[in-house]
A and B are shown apart, each in its own frame.
Chain A
Amino acid sequence: MAWTQKILRVNLSDGSIKVEPLNMEWADQYLGQRGLATRYFIEEVDPKVDPLSPENKMIMATGPLTGTMASTGGRYSVITKGPLTGAIACSNSGGFIGAEMKMAGWDMIIFEGKSPSPVYLYIENDKAELLPADDLWGKTVWEADEMLHKKHQDPQLRIACVGRPAEAGCLYAGIINDLHRAAGRSGVGTVMASKNLKAVAVRGTKGVGNIKDPARFMQATQEAKAVLAENAVTGEGLPAYGTQVLMNIVNEIGALPTRNMREVQFEGAHSVSGEAMHEPRKSDGKPNLTTNAACFGCTIACGRISTIDQGHFSVENKPEYWGSSGGLEYEAAWALGPNTGVDDLDALTYVNFLCNEDGFDPITFGATFSAAIDLFDSGAITTEHTGGMELIFGSAEALVWAVEALCKGEGFGKDLGLGSKRLCEKYGHPEFSMTVKGQEFPAYDPRGIQGMGLAYATSNRGACHLRGYTVASEVLGIPEKTDPLVTDGKPELVIAFQDATAAVDSSGLCLFTTFAWTLDNIAPQIDAACEGEWSVEKLAELGERVWNMERDFNLKAGLTAADDTLPKRLLKDAANVGPAKGKVAGLDVMLPKYYELRGWTNDGQLTDDVRSRLSLPA
């Protein structure tokens, strides 16, 4: 039945670890990972909880297809209340630790309380123990990873870990697993560190069996893999260029947010694109891209492994950065590049390395840094704040300085850890923060891709591209092409994407499969693996249920319809160039329609009808 049907409950306050059976009734309604973990979370946590208090909980959850041969079946999610947003936080990661958790025999791990001193959770199949992490505290993720591998003498040990900024309270720290995969957004790493939990190290050798219908499962997964292989995006574009395939495309349609979203096209886009990563550098004749890399079970392999020129100013005399590591994904490349005006590919790669090494979200970091440049430009902060560094768009030196300051937690680096909303409020210019619900935008300008404006505004975890990726339709024509510049039909589109995404995020599969797959390809795989009957309709309804449950939590946490909005820069300042020239984000026409289609009230509240139709918990 694909679930292990076992949960590990770790109470960090008293050090107890309990084994619980999985609530199979809930599994039938919420599947796994995002949906099921959120169901547990809302049952157990007061929505008003302070995200960084011991009363907040954090759940690491796999899906039923995690650890199976289904392509991309290696995902896990971290569910908690996010410190950046005060909303439900749900960050999804690939790599290998999700599958390892499953191989060790666990569907999810619920962390509660706060340890009196730094600890890490060590899991070896049935055995789970909290071990002292005093020696790991204050270390980067990469340092701690090496220490743990050595200590446990097991190269196959899979590790998820938080870095120094998380310990120091940076509000957008992520949890890094397998050195360069991340549950990156919304500050889930900050929550983990607030519990004095430095790392989770897992070794699982039990494997994943108990598939409902093994023969049908193998056939379904094989057919679905063929669909991925034959698709232009998942079979060609992503393997060749990673998500960075988007840089030039999005720039061309005038939807590449540039210089803290002042503009929508970046003159240096090509220099930091997926294509450029393949080109030999003038300096050393080698390309930035070393190889592409897959997460567990993934037949797409969009991951980038990059190597920086040893002579580049960022790594000169730092041989520890001369080896290859996780390279730029599109969102990170955008946040660190076009949005800060920097077109130096190796500088962006170095900053990305540090985001991984020390565990924080490159989107929020890049966007916070570009907001800082706006603050500097306006005179609200000066070289006195920065210890002499001039913050200007396009300065790779300033970018590298900023990331190092954040990692060390020194001086202005502490301010950068606030995220743009709090930083801009602190210095009196909240309008420079490009956020929804306190979380920074990713790499699609809603003036040029209208559906994304609604997706950002209504996203349950603050601005995000991974809750309803209408870019697929509006830019790439998946599943069918819609005009990115119009608002008509976008509420329907956003809802369809949001619900389908919530279902995929509950399965253990990667969202990127949906460039090629619809629920028609996914349902047969789940149905062959899991007890019960899993139709497309059931999954779509499950997605809607999950979405509404998250919304419900946020409303109870104190968020309102007023939080479903976008910054003025996007609502008032029209795009200055490109196809979207003269356009603002048309949220005002889309939002009421969205509420209506959701069956919510005019002020965005859930109705009893919705609750009963979706069997939502009270």
Chain B
Amino acid sequence: MQRSLQIDPGKCTGCLQCEMACSYENEGVFNPARSRIKVFTFHQEGRFVPYTCTQCDEAWCMQACPVDAIVLNAATGSKDILEDVCVGCKVCTIACPFGTVNYNSDTGKVIKCDLCGGDPKCAEACPTQAITYINADETGFDRMRAWAGKSDNQPRVQ
């Protein structure tokens, strides 16, 4: 059974431990600006929303990549960037309608969540269980993805 990140914004306190864990795992520094997961603050509403790639089936990023630098990780279901193949054209950053592929100007490549290869550090670091890594069919991501169907141009041929 593949697992997915489940995010429950109601439990998030906005501490950014997830962002630090992510950037530390992937970049070797504590740097929220380079985190693949981002916590957005809704000050007026008193709400914190952690947000990252849902590893969607459509994989808009993967399909848009002109040089085959984004590949499916069969073990985890994540769509992974091959950094040595990525040329930094950024097409995936506009193709992903979830806004979860971002350009890193330091490296000239793009970055996105790869579930840390199946051991996501954000979930491990979250002190309130706002981020958990659970069986895929139990997550609420279907709802998050649902809107895509509204104008889905992509036949599902996985």
Contacts and interface: CB of A to CB of B under 8 A. Distances in A.
Given A204-B33, A207-B29, A324-B44, A295 B24 contact: no
Interface string A203-247: 011111100001000100000010001000000000000000000
B127 A207 contact: no
B96 interface: no
A189 interface: no
Contact of A156 (B27, B33, B48): B33
A85 interface: no
Contacts of B14: 293-294
Interface string B40-52: 0001111110000
Given A69-B125, A324-B44, A325-B43, A297 B16 contact: yes
Nearest to A289: B46
Contact of A207 (B13, B27, B46): B27
A324 B48 CA distance: 12
A103 B44 contact: no
Contacts of B46: 290-291, 293, 305-307, 324
Contacts of A290: 45-46
A225 B20 CA distance: 14
A310 interface: no
Nearest to B31: A207
Interface string B1-40: 0000000000001111100110110011111111000000
A617 interface: no
A205 B31 contact: yes
Given A69-B20, A207-B23, A325-B43, A294 B30 contact: no
Contacts of A293: 13-14, 46, 48
B128 interface: yes
A103 B32 contact: yes
A297 B127 CA distance: 10
Contacts of A303: 13
B31 A179 contact: no
A503 interface: no
Contact of B47 (A96, A204, A291, A325): A291
Interface in A31-72: 67-69, 71
A306 B45 CA distance: 10
Interface string B44-65: 1111100000000000000000
**Range of interface residues on A (Cβ < 8 Å):** 35 or more
Contacts of B125: 69
Identify whether the interface residues of A are mostly helix, strand, loop, or mixed.
Answer: loop
B62 to A, nearest CB: 27
Interface string A294-321: 1111110101011100000000000000
B98 to A, nearest CB: 18
Nearest to A100: B32
A291 to B, nearest CB: 5
Given A69-B21, A69-B24, A299-B127, A208 B30 contact: yes
Nearest to A208: B30
Nearest to B21: A69
A204 B31 CA distance: 9
Contacts of A324: 43-46
Contact of A205 (B13, B33, B45, B127): B33
Interface in A299-358: 299, 301, 303, 305-307, 323-325
Contacts of B33: 103, 156, 204-205, 207
Contacts of A11: none
Given A69-B125, A229-B127, A323-B44, A292 B31 contact: no
Given A207-B23, A307-B46, A69 B30 contact: yes
B15 A298 contact: yes
B127 to A, nearest CB: 4
Given A67-B30, A179-B43, A297 B23 contact: no
Candidate in B43, B45, B46, B47 with the most chain A CB atoms within 10 angstroms: B46
Contacts of A323: 43-45
Contacts of A67: 30
A323 B41 CA distance: 13
A290 B16 CA distance: 19
Contacts of B27: 207
A297 B128 CA distance: 13
A177 to B, nearest CB: 14
A296 B48 CA distance: 13
A221 to B, nearest CB: 10
Nearest to B9: A291
Contacts of B29: 206-209
A277 B107 CA distance: 48
Contacts of A214: 28
Contacts of A301: 13, 15, 127-128
Interface in A251-303: 290-299, 301, 303
Given A207-B31, A229-B127, A295 B20 contact: no
Interface in B50-103: none
A68 B17 CA distance: 9
Contacts of B16: 96, 294, 296-297
Candidate in A291, A299, A324 with the most chain B CB atoms within 10 angstroms: A291
28 contacts: A68-B30, A69-B21, A156-B33, A205-B34, A206-B29, A207-B33, A207-B34, A208-B30, A208-B31, A209-B30, A225-B127, A290-B45, A290-B46, A291-B46, A293-B13, A293-B14, A294-B13, A294-B14, A294-B15, A297-B15, A297-B16, A298-B15, A301-B13, A301-B15, A305-B46, A306-B46, A324-B44, A324-B46
Interface of B: 13-17, 20-21, 23-24, 27-34, 43-48, 125, 127-128
Interface of A: 67-69, 71, 96, 103, 156, 179, 204-209, 214, 218, 225, 229, 290-299, 301, 303, 305-307, 323-325
